[in-house]
Amino acid sequence: MKIASGAAKGLEYLHDVADPQIIYTDFKASNILLDEDFNPKLSDFGLAKLGLTGGKEYVSVKEPFQPNNLI
């Protein structure tokens, strides 16, 4: 349950709290990495999109996030 709860908190942060909002579109088990304490980290932001911008359009992320940018 710790892994599922942590992954959900990561998605909530990206979708509701982050500014700009990030739409994480590739949520699956293989994109959830675990640290040494089994805390989940979301990875693979290649298909992520920035949320609504000033022009109220969704924008695809052009540069993939690096592993040090895990949530």
Residues with active-site annotation:
26
Q: Report residue 8 CA to chain centroid gap.
A: 10
CB 52 within 8 A of CB 18: no
Q: How many beta carbons lie within 10 A of that of residue 31, not counting itself?
A: 17
